[in-house]
Amino acid sequence: MQDILFDFSGMLAKAIGDEHGVTADELKVVEKLVTQANIQVSEARKAGKLHFLELPYDGELIDELEAFREEMKWVKTFVVLGIGGSALGAIALHHSFAHLPAMGNGVSFHCFDNVDPEELAAFFHTVDLSTTLFNVVSKSGSTMETAAGFLYTRQELKKRFGADYTRHLVFTTSQTTGLLKDVGSSEHIRLFIHPDDVGGRFSILSIVGLFPAVFLGLDARALLTGAARMDERCQLLFVANPAAQFAALQYASYALKQKNVVVMMPYSYRLKRWPEWFKQLWGESLGKRDDRQGKEVRVGQTPTESLGTTDQHSQIQLFNFGPRDKNIVFLEVEEFSCDLTISDVPESVPELGYLKGTSFAQLMAAEEQGTRTALRENQVETSRIVFPVLDENVVGQFIYLMEYAAALSGELYDINAFDQPGVELGKDYAYALLGRSGYEHLKDRLQDA
């Protein structure tokens, strides 16, 4: 098994100077802090409070999903109706592996994680509903966007298939509570259970991510094996623990060097959607007003994304010469699954002769290294997450690394990394605008907005 690598040398003072880089003494401080944080995470895990850390060991779930996939061989289009953690992981997994010839055994993938009427209308106008399966994903079943997508889908399926419409639906929802559970039971729609104690942004290795992974032909067992391998490394000392290193260096960047923005920049088209998943994980977990004692602290980095080499021509100017409020996390692939070589250059353009005999993998590597070196010379913090290859095993390692680092970071900031109280008020106002019972008292506050 090849291990993922985290290289944070570009964040250190010896690379970019004491003002913007983490000094040796500062590194010792954050190493001590994250070591204590890991003890606290381990204690919470032993107490059964961090179920998402145990997901790599649920192989029986894959057996169940593979059996269901065999029943559904008629499906040619697989659709996820979900939002946030119920969608972002599936989107990223599909994007990473959709290039494979055997991907999904001919099954196409769509995800609707918004309420844009034009997008949904265009899909229903062109899709063959007779070979389409909709996976509605919501733990509560009351998520407004998912509920709306489901209700519209349900009415269109009923128009087309009558009582047989349920054949085209499957729910991923809570076993104990929730509106989807009630609808599924009353209308005899197949249910898969979303663990009640796993939050959406930590759910990619649960049924939420594994269902689409299995259905689309990914090696879901390798995803879990890779995650379990990273779990082993997360129990090691700081020097060999990528999650502890990532959490500690991001904390130092924010708390000691005032870098409020973390930019994830993959140099691989197949990794393009992972920063979107990371944005929710990092932003929703760590962006908190209050600490655990109820004191207002307002902490959290702003996660955003850039794509190499594309955004070298749009954002690198800002990163190099703009505000020094960022650190850049490069996602790098050592060995691509294929490569292309330029063998012929017109003699009329000798200026391009340097490209003759060059492969596209070499181009990508040179662009990444050149960009990273320029940022370093401009005293911008950089780090690298290196994928030796881009397969399910290594992607599983990456997922677990980020999730574990988020849990550690919650301890470093002394905040609850597993709630999202800042999300609810906007939802409540939307409910008031739409006339949902129980939210009438908010209408007066909306008049001035």
Residues classed as catalytic: 284, 313, 427
Name the CA radius of gyration of the chain, rounded. 23
CA distance linking residue 398 with residue 391, whole number of Å: 11
Q: What is the 3-state secondary structure (H, E, C) of 131-191?
A: HEEEEEECCCCCCHHHHHHHHHHHHHHHHHHHHHHHHHEEEEECCCCCHHHHHHHHHCCEE
* E-strand stretches of 184-268: 190-193, 261-266
Residue 202 contacts residue 52 (beta carbons within 8 Å): yes
CA distance linking residue 381 with residue 374, whole number of Å: 11
Q: Classify the phi-psi angles of 377: left when phi > 0, otherwise alpha if psi is within -120 to 50, otherwise beta.
A: alpha
Angle at 428 between CA 52 and CA 51, to 5 degrees: 10
φ, ψ (nearest 5 deg) of residue 106: 90, 5
Residue 45 contacts residue 53 (beta carbons within 8 Å): yes
CA distance linking residue 206 with residue 410, whole number of Å: 21
CA distance linking residue 76 with residue 131, whole number of Å: 5
- Residue count of the chain, please give it: 449
What is the b/e burial string over 21-30, where b = at least 16 CB atoms within 10 angstroms of the residue's CB? bbbeebbeeb
Q: Determine how β-strand 77-81 pairs with β-strand 108-112.
A: parallel
Q: Which two tokens stand for residue 432?
A: 């008031």
In 262-359, which ranges are continuous DSSP H helix? 274-286, 316-321
Q: Which two tokens stand for residue 362?
A: 């070499």
Classify the C-alpha dihedral 420-423-425-430 as positive or negative.
negative
